A and B are shown apart, each in its own frame.
Chain A
Amino acid sequence: MNKKTKLLILLLLLSFFMTGCWSQSEPKEMAIITCTVYDLDENNNLKIYLDMLDFPNIASNEGGGGQTAKIVTLTGTSFPEMVRDTKSTIDKMMYAAHNRARIFTETFAKNGLTDTLDFLIRDYIADERPYMFVLKGDTDPMLLFKSNKGLSARLGDYLYAMAQVRKQDNDFAVFKTTMDFIKEFYSPGRQSVMGVIEIFPDDTYRTPEESGENEAHKYYMSLNGLAVFKDNKLVGYLDKFGIRVYNLLTNNIAKAYISFPVEGSICCAYSLKTNCKIDTRFEKGAVYADVKLSKEIMIVQNNSEYDVSTISGVKKVQEELNNYLKTQIEQAINQVQTEFKSDIFGIGDLFHKQNPEIWKIIQSNWDDDYFANAIFNVNVDAKIQIAGQIREKIGEKAESGS
């Protein structure tokens, strides 16, 4: 009996190996999507551009660089339906799990992203890692694919690589993954933001014969931008100094350089350490927020007349930097409060942590009422820790005995 049951089980097992495997997918039969662009066409239908990897059909193994791309445009009423549209000319299964970047056109973003987000979280293939961007202006999304992609092969790779690199050294850009966006959306005291792509014509454009490259790019992409959302709808953009303020206030700081004017000439500082502390309180029906930004910087370029190796010089330069940053912060906060009325800095979350009882009462009107009318006191305290490798400014002679 023992042997017979074992045999029976074995036969059962073998039988379902033979009947075919249902969820199998061969990588060779997959069209791997690396970048998606979401758009709305004239009839307010969804339109999606897919950047797919294709491998030339060679039987033998020749090394390197065999990837080409196809850009496919599909329309439909919902995403899954679109992807399986019969008007598509792709003869392979589309596979979006390695998607690197999602780009939304301005019209699409202004229309609202809630439906898209639902699909992105719910679907088990589409996941939360790709970076999200808004395509600024009324540009044709196809220009994205014709832009200069640096040293990468595909648009998705390029955006992903830029995000990895620029996150660490650029103050003027913001890179948010889908997960970040969703988390910010779910926080009651915070509104989400997204990176921005802006396409400019390339002034240095040369024809292929002149430039000697295979493909010349007429356009280039600028990733310096921040798209401000309110309740998942696009309400505006911040300029580059506003983005710096956003990064400073949300402690998202990179190892960035700050150039600031000192009485007409330029000094450049490198942040070693930045910390922003915001204390909120509620007085007389208004929200007060004290922003204390403390920075430790290193001077990397000093064109001013002050000697940054002396105490008085340091004080003066610090003062200039503090004023400069304070003005920028106040400008940016003002813009966000009046123009957008959207709390992208997360003041609501901080208020929730610091004054939880009051938060329960005011959280429903936070963005329009309390945040828009909040009073900010900004205090910047930058300290020059290191003044560089030399003491006196270049060209000046050092005095003896100092």
Chain B
Amino acid sequence: MNKRAHITSLQLVLAAAGSALMFPYTFMPILRVPPANQDAWVVFLLSIVYVFVINAPFIYLANKFRGLDICAMNELILGKVASKFTLMIIALFAIFCFIECMILTVMFVKMQLLAETPEWAIGLLILVPTVYAAKKGAGTIARLAFFIIPTIILLLIIFFIIGLKEMDIAQIQPILTDSTPWELNKGAFLTASRFSEVLIVVVFSYFLIKKTSLYGVYLKTIGVFSLGYLLMLVPVLLTVGSEVAKIANNPYTLFTRLIAGQFFRVQSINILGWFTGVIIKLTLYNFIASYMFSRVIKKKPQKFFVLPLAFIAFAVSFVPLLRKMSFLNLIKSDLIFPWIVFGVIFGMGMILLIFYLVRKKKIDKKIKEELQYEDDRENVLNEKQEQALKDKG
């Protein structure tokens, strides 16, 4: 890895927000968290606050250490040995997200479209573009997201406009009377805990061209994510109603089945957009996991780990226990997934923050040295390239 990939902040925003939007696109967990009624949109607005709180330690640290990647950050705060441990935790977390997302996608495809196709064929179809894109590196993934995610958001807007005719404002009334504040807050917390994409923002911030403040990027990500989420949640609530949508496995597809029913069905376009978005999400997590591994085991580059991770996911999807819908429902319910994300993102973030604050002065000095070292390295590389060019020309 001689040359660092370069991505713009817009690409990063779109990649992270788009990846975060794939959960509601698939099964909209917010409809089942307490209070599980027509106030789901209020729960979402409240959960944005919780998202800021949960992600705060990580983002603060990433902003302090901007210019250095997450592994350098861990090393400086915790020292070399302990940082390997935390990096492995992050890598395992990324693998967990990757495997869960993949199994969910395979099951949904099998349920909705290709009922007789065996899972391995669907898994192979998902993994081939994922591996191909993840091997190409961070720059390619970000640019890929730059093309695909705006298309998905455009599709969401178009469906919203087409579905306006079917929407009935009475479906979300009465507002806030059926839910207690405790239920609302619990639901908001559980929804906010599912937002694991802060990891993407932090890991990819190393590749940004301009080393400006990370807060702007983060805020834009949350903004795009909220817009997309509301574009999905509000039509579902207004057309189908929260009661029916709750029991459906894929509420947004249920919504798209109902609109424009006379002349053409937009369901197929919806599925196309959903699937491409899911592949991007999988690519991002695969990249993060392989990047972490490549930093822990320093001899091999990032590309080397992409294929083994994909194989692991593929093999795991064959375990009979994990193919049962009941087990899957357990994993994606509120009992397991949000707590794991909360533990890693908030828990580890707090630990790192505490260690940082304790050794603040020493670490700040080291940051400056590291940044200088990185700058020098980049300058040397650039000079070498220019020299080579002059020699040829």
Contacts and interface: CB of A to CB of B under 8 A. Distances in A.
Contact of A23 (B116, B174, B240, B248): B116
Interface in B366-382: none
Given A12-B124, A128-B258, A22 B116 contact: yes
B315 to A, nearest CB: 15
A9 interface: yes
Interface in A200-236: none
A183 B170 contact: no
B117 A124 contact: no
A255 to B, nearest CB: 17
A352 interface: yes
A183 B174 CA distance: 17
Contact of B174 (A128, A164, A352): A352
B333 interface: no
Max chain B Cβ within 10 angstroms of own Cβ: one of A12, A164, A183, A352: A183
A187 B38 CA distance: 11
Interface string A165-195: 0000000000000010011001100000000
A356 interface: yes
A13 interface: yes
A129 interface: yes
Contacts of A186: 241, 243-244
Contacts of B115: 23, 124
B257 A129 contact: yes
B118 interface: yes
Given A22-B121, A349-B170, A183 B114 contact: no
A128 B170 contact: no
The A interface is mostly helix, strand or loop, or mixed, namely: helix
A124 B111 contact: yes
A140 interface: no
Q: How large is the interface on A (under 10, 10 to 19, 20 to 34, 35 or more residues)?
A: 20 to 34
B320 interface: no
Interface string B117-130: 11001001000100
B112 interface: yes
A23 B173 contact: no
A127 interface: yes
Interface string A74-85: 000000000000
A70 interface: no
A286 to B, nearest CB: 21
Given A127-B257, A128-B257, A22 B118 contact: yes
Nearest to A349: B170
A187 B177 CA distance: 16
Interface residues on B, range: 20 to 34
Contacts of B81: none
Contacts of B244: 182-183, 186
B241 A187 contact: yes
B261 interface: yes
Contacts of A352: 174
Contacts of B113: 23
A353 interface: yes
Interface string B240-251: 110110011000
Interface string B206-242: 0000000000000000000000000000000000110
Nearest to B111: A124
B128 A129 contact: no
Contacts of A121: 247-248
Contacts of B383: none
A124 B241 contact: no
B386 interface: no
Contacts of B173: 353
Interface of B: 111-118, 121, 124, 128, 170, 173-174, 177-178, 240-241, 243-244, 247-248, 254, 257-258, 261-262
Given A22-B121, A23-B114, A360-B178, 20 more contacts: A9-B128, A16-B124, A21-B117, A22-B117, A22-B118, A23-B113, A23-B116, A121-B247, A121-B248, A124-B112, A128-B258, A129-B261, A179-B240, A182-B244, A186-B241, A186-B244, A353-B174, A354-B174, A356-B174, A357-B177
13 contacts: A12-B124, A22-B116, A22-B117, A127-B257, A128-B258, A164-B262, A179-B258, A183-B240, A183-B241, A349-B170, A353-B170, A353-B174, A357-B177
